[in-house]
Chains A and B, each alone.
Chain A
Amino acid sequence: MHESVGQIIISALLANNFVLAMFLGLCPFLGVSGRLDTAFPMGVATTFVMLVASLCAYGLNLLLSAFHLEFLRLISYIVIIASAVQLVEMVLKKYSPGLFRALGIYLPLITTNCAVLGVALFQTAREYTLAQSLAFSFGGGAGFTLALVLMASVRERLQLSDVPGVAQGTALSLMLAGILSLGFMGFAGLGG
């Protein structure tokens, strides 16, 4: 409500990290964080979609509120997000086909990334202004990328370690995520 743009960015990036504190964007977090060179572009693509979604959601909300059609909010948000993802796909396919292929099925899956819809829903619930909304989505996307990159770095290192058979795979990723989340709790209160 009365938070400054800087406070919002820092908070969404660290203290209320989308993945490690708010549990948004977990499916790609557990799925794409195996390698650093796919994790980072995925984070950037998601951040871009978040910014577009945030902008469109703000405009849509103004429109729907003016006509008292709030019950159409969810449907219109998700349709806008699906379209934004299509746009990003087309742009990537044209300008960076290698990256497009590397991200593969995970690119259209950004549509079902809770973090993107989450940005739209949270900014509406908190009644942010346009500047606050964009700051929120930027910080959130950056936080998502940060968590993804951290996870990928650790997992790459672990591939050379002697992990017990029962713990391999998703169980290990989850334990790692828990430790990362624990660490990020130390940022509590940062950003007002």
Chain B
Amino acid sequence: MSIDALPPEATAAQAASSTPTGAMIRTLGLVSAICGLIIVSSYQGTLSAVQANKQIAVERAVFKVLPEAKSIVEYQVTPSGVSVITGELPAGAVKFFGAYDDAGKLNGIAAEGGAKGYGDTVRVLFGYKLDCQCVVGFGVVSMRETPGIGDKILTDKDFLANFVALDAQLNKELSGLANEVKTVKHGTKTKAWEIDAIAGATITSRAVGRAINQSAQALLPLVVPQLDKIRTKS
């Protein structure tokens, strides 16, 4: 295969006379201005709709894992304190959702986690309650797993039963989980902090376990000691 054509720009430059630099700069300026205008206006025009969509999606996800909750507040937590999220997340802060019931009392917290599954990342949202120090439910935010195999994590009753009271206690020093949340082979679950994988969908099951573990290890040691600050909705 021998292709004799040179790149289009080279032949064009050789053949025709060169465009004067002034004209080129003017045209480039004109193109940039038009394109800039289109981009900025489409961004601004859709911004409110996009934010509304995202808010709806988040609320739906949190209410699914904490069914008694009626409203949510998005917080950020650092070793020094908890505060409502405002714009940029400062370094070392972890964000989570506080879910409140009708009376404005804290029902539970929810947080996102992600880990690589069979396809791309599996993003999950899990709910956590302080009274049992356990994960009470999880939902999938986004995933690209194999239909019919990996997506069983959404429907398999035995798998979902893992998350009714998944132990997520903190260790004595409050520096991490007492026992890391782990996915084990189907049928070998013995401890309250283990997740029984779906037979034939181990990779996706493991991704869910890793996602929850990583997120919990990063969030819970910071939040649990400071939960009193957000017991009631301010």
Contacting residue for B115 out of A1, A11, A71, CB 8 A: A1
How many Å lie between the Cα of A150 and that of B96 in the bound state? 47
| A89 in contact with B214 (CB, 8 Å) | no
- Which residue from chain A places its CB closest to the CB of B5 in the assembled complex? A105
- Which residue from chain B places its CB closest to the CB of A109 in the assembled complex? B7
| B7 in contact with A107 (CB, 8 Å) | yes
Interface members, chain B 116-137 (any A CB < 8 Å):
116, 118-119, 121
| B116 in contact with A192 (CB, 8 Å) | yes
| B2 in contact with A102 (CB, 8 Å) | yes
How many Å lie between the Cα of A101 and that of B8 in the bound state? 14
Interface members, chain B 71-116 (any A CB < 8 Å):
114-116
How many Å lie between the Cα of A35 and that of B39 in the bound state? 42
Residues in chain A near residue B119, CB distance under 8 A? 16
| A101 in contact with B1 (CB, 8 Å) | no
Interface members, chain A 1-58 (any B CB < 8 Å):
1-3, 11, 16, 34-35, 38
Residues in chain A near residue B118, CB distance under 8 A? 188-189
Residues in chain A near residue B40, CB distance under 8 A? 71
What is the minimal beta-carbon distance from B209 to any residue of chain A, in angstroms?
13
* Interface assignment of A94: CB less than 8 Å from any CB of chain B: no
* Interface assignment of A126: CB less than 8 Å from any CB of chain B: yes
Residues in chain B near residue A101, CB distance under 8 A? 2-4
* Interface assignment of A169: CB less than 8 Å from any CB of chain B: no
Residues in chain B near residue A35, CB distance under 8 A? 1
What is the minimal beta-carbon distance from B60 to any residue of chain A, in angstroms?
22
* Interface assignment of A108: CB less than 8 Å from any CB of chain B: yes
Number of interface residues of A (CB under 8 A): 24
* Interface assignment of B184: CB less than 8 Å from any CB of chain A: no
| B214 in contact with A104 (CB, 8 Å) | no
How many Å lie between the Cα of A126 and that of B142 in the bound state? 13
Residues in chain A near residue B43, CB distance under 8 A? 71
| A2 in contact with B214 (CB, 8 Å) | yes
What is the minimal beta-carbon distance from A125 to any residue of chain B, in angstroms?
9
How many Å lie between the Cα of A103 and that of B4 in the bound state? 9
| A89 in contact with B7 (CB, 8 Å) | yes
How many Å lie between the Cα of A103 and that of B40 in the bound state? 39
* Interface assignment of B165: CB less than 8 Å from any CB of chain A: no
How many Å lie between the Cα of A1 and that of B117 in the bound state? 12
| B203 in contact with A75 (CB, 8 Å) | no
- Which residue from chain A places its CB closest to the CB of B39 in the assembled complex? A71
What is the minimal beta-carbon distance from B89 to any residue of chain A, in angstroms?
12
What is the minimal beta-carbon distance from B186 to any residue of chain A, in angstroms?
15
- Which residue from chain B places its CB closest to the CB of A126 in the assembled complex? B121
- Which residue from chain A places its CB closest to the CB of B210 in the assembled complex? A2
What is the minimal beta-carbon distance from B61 to any residue of chain A, in angstroms?
19
How many Å lie between the Cα of A38 and that of B202 in the bound state? 40
Q: Mark A87-108, 1 if CB is under 8 A from B, else 0.
A: 0010000000000011111111
* Interface assignment of B35: CB less than 8 Å from any CB of chain A: yes
How many Å lie between the Cα of A2 and that of B203 in the bound state? 16
What is the minimal beta-carbon distance from B41 to any residue of chain A, in angstroms?
11
What is the minimal beta-carbon distance from A46 to any residue of chain B, in angstroms?
16
| A34 in contact with B214 (CB, 8 Å) | no
What is the minimal beta-carbon distance from B16 to any residue of chain A, in angstroms?
19
Query: Which residues of chain A have a CB within 8 Å of any CB of chain B?
Result: 1-3, 11, 16, 34-35, 38, 71-72, 75, 89, 101-108, 126, 188-189, 192
User: 7 smallest A-B Cβ distances: which pairs?
Assistant: A104-B3, A71-B43, A189-B203, A108-B7, A105-B5, A105-B3, A71-B39
Q: Can you list 12 A-B contacts (CB < 8 A)?
A: A1-B115, A1-B121, A16-B119, A71-B39, A71-B40, A102-B2, A103-B3, A108-B7, A108-B8, A126-B121, A189-B202, A189-B203
